[in-house]
Structure formats: C-alpha cells, structure tokens
Chains A and B, each alone.
Chain A
Amino acid sequence: DAKTTQPPSMDCAEGRAANLPCNHSTISGNEYVYWYRQIHSQGPQYIIHGLKNNETNEMASLIITEDRKSSTLILPHATLRDTAVYYCIVGAGGTSYGKLTFGQGTILTVHP
C-alpha cells in the first residue's frame, strides 16, 4: 500500500469548512484513497473513499487531484463533534481482503 503524509494537527472554527490535506505521491493505478476518523476513546469511523473522481456523501467531500498524488477531505460545516483524529489511507479496493494501514493521522480541533 502506498504511503501517505498528513499534517499532525489542524484547527478549525465551528461552522467553517475544514479542509484536511493528504499526500500520496506513490499511489498506484488500482489504489483507492480512504478516509477514517477516530473520536477519542471510540473505534475508527469510515468517512468516504474514492479512486479518481471527486466524491461526496452526507459526511464529507473528497477531492482528488488529477494526478492522484494528493487529496483533500472537506467537512463543509465543522461542528465541535468533528474534533477527532483523521486518517488518510491508500490501498487497492479488493472485495475479500484489504487491511487498513493507519499512520499518525491529523488531529483536527474544532473551536467554538
């Protein structure tokens, strides 16, 4: 699985958009970008994933650059409950096997 690089921490004001970057310059053609978050003392929570097109769901939007070497997770209107560690993970999208390789992630703190 390709390696990812994320900033260790970010701050965001409540109600504003939170834009979390991720670099994955060695990503290969069949590898997806996955985002998870982990709120303190809970298990990680799946947010969104994508291959090359931008994706949006009820939680967030995922913007992947055309060369696929980086991506940005966007929380459009951050709330205090979005304070968490956010993990960007890259891996092939197999249906029967697929481990998640977590790095250190980005600690997002949303301020009132």
Chain B
Amino acid sequence: DAGVTQSPTHLIKTRGQHVTLRCSPISGHKSVSWYQQVLGQGPQFIFQYYEKEERGRGNFPDRFSARQFPNYSSELNVNALLLGDSALYLCASSRPGQGAREQYFGPGTRLTVT
C-alpha cells in the first residue's frame, strides 16, 4: 500500500508570498493532521481534520489555514510568508476506529522562505 504522499518535496518562496502544500493520506484513512518542524526541534501540531471537519488547531496565526476534500486529501495554505515559516511541513493520517494518535507520516515538504 502507498504511504502518505506530500507535494511538493521542496519549495522556495519569498517573504510575503502565499504557499499551498498538498497531502494524500493512506487509502482508507479519514483523518489528516499537519505539523511544522523547525530545524532542531520536534514537530509542532498545526491542524487536524477528520471527515472534512476541523477537529483541532494548534497555536498558529490565522495566516495558516487548511481544508480536507471529499477524497480525504488535504491542503495547507500559508499566507504572507515570513522567514520564520521556513520549516519541514509534515502531514500524517490515521484510520477510522483506531486511535487518532496512531498516525502515519509522510516525508514532508521542505519550505524555504527567503
């Protein structure tokens, strides 16, 4: 079975620009979570979606938004990029009927803001 896939793999943007990151969960998984990992730190929770509804939000500004589509794929959008948004953005999925904390992560999108 294919794992969680994310696109693009790498991205370079300029301050003030907007970015959209995409995630496809493992087939049959209905929950998708997004995390930000700054170099040298553990991942930080941004959002969780389950059945297309937002179920949780971390301590991130409103510049960060996300949505989940009927096929359970998800997008993370970040507006007005800052240098501090440079990080590895991770997507994770989990399957219904199983603990939502048993999550399977994709390889991430490396975002560099210059």
Interface residues of A (CB under 8 A from B): 32, 34, 42-46, 49, 85, 87, 89, 91, 93-105
Contact = CB atoms under 8 A, between A and B. Distances in A.
Given A43-B107, A44-B105, A102 B33 contact: no
A96 B31 CA distance: 7
Interface string B40-53: 01111100101100
A42 B4 CA distance: 12
B105 to A, nearest CB: 3
B102 A34 contact: yes
A1 to B, nearest CB: 9
Interface stretch (B63-71, B72-80, B91-99): B91-99
Contact of B43 (A94, A95, A98, A100): A100
Interface residues of B, number: 31
A103 B106 CA distance: 19
Interface of B is mostly: loop
A104 B99 CA distance: 23
B105 A95 contact: no
Contact of A87 (B42, B45, B92, B99): B42
B101 A89 contact: yes
A43 B42 contact: no
Given A103-B42, A104-B42, A46 B102 contact: yes
B45 A100 contact: yes
Contacts of B35: 100, 102
Contacts of B50: 96-97
A34 B105 CA distance: 15
